[in-house]
């Protein structure tokens, strides 16, 4: 196992993000195997004032996981050990570099699953998921990492280890320090191990795919669906016809239902297949839609691979927005009207159940004038609706200057104070998450 | 409405905690109605170096809600306005002084419920619930406040207001500052408003009450129950026979099942009464227990009023412990053996589904020697099992010196740094939560 990587070609994959949208010029990747090694690295870097870029699976979408300049890359790739799993409580403790899909496979063998799932599961690391507070496809059912992460071990900027790796569902002894590291994108400390509450593997999973005549129908179907499926509803995802076109064109997947302006993917997960199917069938009858309950894997592919399909279009301007659900699609319509032919495609999809829209604008290649037409318009639009300009992707390098659209000045100042306190030399993932001081 | 309360008799109820175990000697209670008024009060107190004791419904169990000396009491009693409720998303925004039960009644009319419920619901304030990260009876189903609280408005020690009162399910723009205030027991800021995600009101709620021959049976029943009831299981509470005796003796409630060493209360909440009853009946057949599905209100009374019944015993030494479930009851057995006849009663009950034991020792009156027999034994025992010495009650005044049994030194130091940063003069709820500096 290579613990030190040098050489321009060897380091290159660590310097470029998954979208190929940002590139650093680090000359050194370190891959520690233990928390003690992470401590050693940070202690040295802290002493020598060397900047460090913590990196998990490098699947982030906002340029947070690669260096901006020549930061030393600290990869969790070799920290991939499962530490413990308790079948009674469902609590998993593992190192930060475990790949999400591997963890899920391990758990499935024991009748459990991870509480989160996302398109990048095959390469993302659980430490990176926690550091970016990843949302994903199961949030509607199992809640966010703020509730499911029970403990963390974190190495601070000066190399000291903070052990908050408890395996308890409830612990009210003092401030919940781990929360500060969840979603801090490696700017406050390096997460080295995670304790997480895992739900039982559902005995029955059903997927339905529906066409809807309008976005109003998508919303109406959601309300009906939530009422009739209740506690077994585990995902309510939507996509527009433009998404379907892109997926069909680039990935040769085909829509299982008749062409519609909107599509909805509904998943149920429950403990009794007879009950679940009855609930779903009742719902489908009521919805009187062309829904079919069939091969869920194929249907999920359609949804999960939209991001991938979009990259085939050329350059992708990606926006990950939280909005009140009723207004969710208006942003896509407005953006499409605004950009006209200057964009190749303007598509909208996302986790409707969470109020989360993924707005994507594609073009043959990057253009500054197109960017100017999109931003700050998209952020101003979102701020007017009290939305969030980053629902789940984080701020990273690309969005950090826009934080003020979703957070008041006092909050940003307080965040900067936390950063200064925990990383006084500013060596941890510099130029990320927080705006540069004015 | 009285916004300023003075006079020894008038202030007395605010000076004494619900358990009548601690008493302050404040001479002034202020009851602001708006966030601006809270800001005014804190700005003044900050300037004049006056200590402030934020107080909600004063139902806390660790002496965190009353003054230690003559702190000014800042009561949220008049901040009881509902600001908004959105029926599509289920998001409630309200002032901090709203009483939990009132909120739940308001929501029930609209087909929703609060995600938390606890014995003190008739008088506790939602702001106090959040400040203490209250757990309670619905945590197993709806998760902790760390996941359900979506936004907070907080007034900081210097009187400045921090508006993080978003109504979004997902928002990854910077550090999640609100988490620091959840569970900080009023020591970092005063919570003035809360945004919280509320679940739909279940269409069917069933309660079963079972007797179990041993604690091993309680655990076995839990595993069976979780597998067979799955997603509709909303509570799994246990109590021992000593609890039942106390409830019968002092509250004249009677056990609905034959005398047993242990009792279990199981609640299901679901969207389809036929399915739910079928699941529950299948489970009860399998469990082959003397379970009966009957008047849930009465059964919940038995469970919820244990705390109240215990106060009739005389003095109560209360411990709220998180432990791995398998070891949960060993602590009660060990404590009973240790104390022998020096205690009137040693009882155990709690939220087994969450790994949370409420251990209570009663005596005719307070005795220092009995306390010495219990502490630090109970904390050392808990620390050996990597448990938490306060699962949900917090540390307040009574437990703050024991934080080191559940948190490493580095974590406590970091907490103290946060406290110093946010409240440099130490005016907010002094002598609470964190141990005095050595």
**ipTM metric:** 0.94
Residue pairs between chains A and B whose CB atoms are closer than 8 Å: 260
> Residue B150: which pLDDT band, with cuts at 50, 70 and 90?
very high
Query: In the structure encoding, which two tokens stand for residue B114, read together?
Result: 């609060």
How far is the C-alpha of B59 from the C-alpha of B121, rounded, in Å? 9
Dihedral of the alpha carbons of A70, A71, A77, A80, in degrees to the nearest 10: 180
Domain B204-307 has CATH 3.30.70.2190: yes
In this complex, is the C-beta atom of A436 within 8 Å of any C-beta atom belonging to chain B?
no
Q: Which of B132, B91, B133 is nearest to B110 (CA)?
A: B91
Which are the contacts of A142, defined by CB distance < 8 A and separation ≥ 6?
A115, A116, A148, A199
Mutate to test the interface with B, among A83, A85, A89, A170 (most CBs of B within 10 A): A170
pLDDT band at A290 (very low <50, low <70, confident <90, very high): low
Residue A416, Cβ density class (10 Å: 0-12 exposed, 13-18 middle, ≥19 buried): middle
Q: Is A165 on the interface with B (CB under 8 A)?
A: no
Spell out which residues of chain B touch residue A424, defining contact as CB-CB under 8 Å.
none
CATH of domain A313-405: 3.30.70.2740
Q: Which two tokens stand for residue B117?
A: 């419920």
Say if A235 is an interface residue toward chain B (CB within 8 Å).
no
Q: Closest Cα partner for A352 from A268, A265, A242, A238?
A: A238
**DSSP secondary structure string, B375-436?**
TTHHHHHHHHTT-BSBSSS--TTTTGGGGGGTS-HHHHHHHHHHHHHH-TT--BSTTSSSPP
Q: Which of B175, B228, B286, B415 to mutate to test the interface with A (most CBs of A within 10 A)?
A: B175
Which fold would CATH assign to domain A82-197?
3.30.465
Comparing B54-68, B93-107, B275-289, the range with the smallest average pLDDT is B275-289
**Which of A166, A228, A411 lies nearest to residue B177, judging by beta carbons?**
A411
Question: Residue A354 forms beta bridges with which residues?
Answer: none
Mean pLDDT of all residues in B135-158 = 95
Q: Is B82-197's fold the same as B204-307's?
A: no
Fold of A4-75: 3.30.43
Tell me the pLDDT tens digit for each residue of A380-393.
Answer: 999 999 999 999 99
Cβ neighbours of A387 in B, within 8 Å: 168
pLDDT in tens, A168-215: 999 999 999 999 999 999 999 999 999 999 999 999 999 988 889 899
Assess whether pLDDT exceeds 90 at residue B345: yes
Residues B372-388: what's their mean pLDDT?
97
Q: Which two tokens stand for residue A104?
A: 């899920």
Domain map (residue ranges) of chain B: 4-75, 82-197, 204-307, 313-405
> A405-438 pLDDT, tens per residue?
999 999 999 999 999 999 999 999 999 999 986 5
- A222 Cα to chain B: minimum distance (Å): 9
- How far apart CA A69 and CA A431 sit, in angstroms, is 10
Distances (CA, A) of B425 to A413, B73, B188, B189, B434: 19, 17, 11, 13, 15
Q: Nearest CA to CA, how far is A191 from chain B (Å)?
A: 15
Residues of B in contact with A388 (CB under 8 A): 166, 168, 170-173
Residues B366, B317 contacting (CB under 8 angstroms): no
- Chain B residues lying within 8 Å of A434, measured CB to CB: 174
Pairwise CB contact (< 8 Å): A388 & B164: no
Average pLDDT over residues B279-293: 75
Please write the tens of the pLDDT for every residue from A315-328. 999 999 999 999 99
Residue B250 in this model has a pLDDT that exceeds 70: yes
Q: Which residue of chain B has the CA closest to A406?
A: B173
Strand bridging mode B72-75 / B28-30: parallel
Q: Which contacts qualify for A329-334: CB closer than 8 Å, 24 or more apart? A: A329/A215, A329/A218, A329/A240, A329/A357, A331/A357, A331/A359, A331/A378, A331/A381, A331/A382, A332/A240, A332/A357, A332/A359, A334/A381
């Amino acid at each position: 196992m290579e613990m030190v990587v040098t050489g321009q070609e060897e380091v290159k994959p660590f310097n470029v993000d998954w979208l190929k949208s940002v590139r650093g010029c680090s000359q050194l990747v370190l891959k520690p195997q233990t928390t003690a090694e992470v401590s050693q690295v940070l202690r040295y870097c802290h002493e020598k004032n060397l900047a460090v870029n913590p990196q998990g699976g490098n699947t982030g979408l906002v340029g947070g996981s690669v260096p901006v300049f020549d930061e030393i890359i600290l990869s969790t790739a070799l920290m991939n050990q499962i530490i413990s799993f308790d079948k009674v409580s469902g609590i998993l403790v593992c190192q930060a570099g475990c790949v999400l899909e591997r963890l899920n496979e391990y758990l499935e063998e024991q009748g459990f699953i991870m509480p989160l799932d996302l398109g990048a599961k095959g390469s993302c690391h659980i430490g990176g998921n926690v550091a970016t507070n990843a949302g994903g496809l199961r949030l509607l059912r199992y809640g966010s990492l703020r509730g499911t992460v029970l403990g963390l071990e974190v190495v601070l900027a000066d190399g000291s280890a903070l052990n908050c790796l408890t395996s308890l569902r409830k612990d009210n002894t003092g401030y919940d320090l781990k929360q500060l590291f969840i979603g801090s994108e490696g700017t406050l400390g390096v997460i080295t191990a995670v304790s997480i509450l895992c739900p039982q593997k559902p005995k029955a999973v059903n997927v339905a795919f529906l066409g809807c005549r309008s976005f109003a129908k998508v919303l109406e179907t959601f309300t009906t669906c939530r009422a009739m499926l209740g506690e077994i509803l585990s995902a309510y995802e939507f996509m527009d016809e433009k998404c379907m076109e892109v997926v069909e064109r680039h990935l040769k997947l085909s829509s299982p239902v008749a062409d519609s302006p909107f599509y909805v993917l509904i998943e149920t997960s429950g403990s009794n297949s007879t009950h679940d199917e009855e609930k779903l069938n009742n719902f489908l009858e009521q919805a009187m839609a062309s829904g079919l309950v069939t091969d869920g894997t194929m249907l999920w592919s359609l949804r999960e691979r939209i991001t991938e399909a979009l990259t085939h279009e050329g350059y992708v301007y990606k926006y990950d927005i939280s909005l009140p659900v009723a207004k969710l699609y208006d942003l896509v319509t407005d953006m499409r009207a605004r950009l006209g032919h200057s964009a190749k495609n303007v598509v909208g999809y996302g986790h409707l159940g969470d109020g989360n829209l993924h707005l994507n604008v594609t073009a043959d290649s990057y253009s500054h004038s197109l960017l100017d037409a999109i931003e700050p318009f998209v952020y101003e639009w979102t701020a007017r609706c009290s939305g969030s300009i980053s629902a789940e992707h984080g701020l990273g390098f690309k969005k950090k200057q826009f934080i003020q659209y979703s957070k008041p000045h006092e909050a940003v100042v307080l965040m900067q104070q936390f950063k200064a306190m925990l990383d006084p030399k500013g060596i941890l993932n510099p130029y990320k998450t927080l705006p540069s001081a004015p």
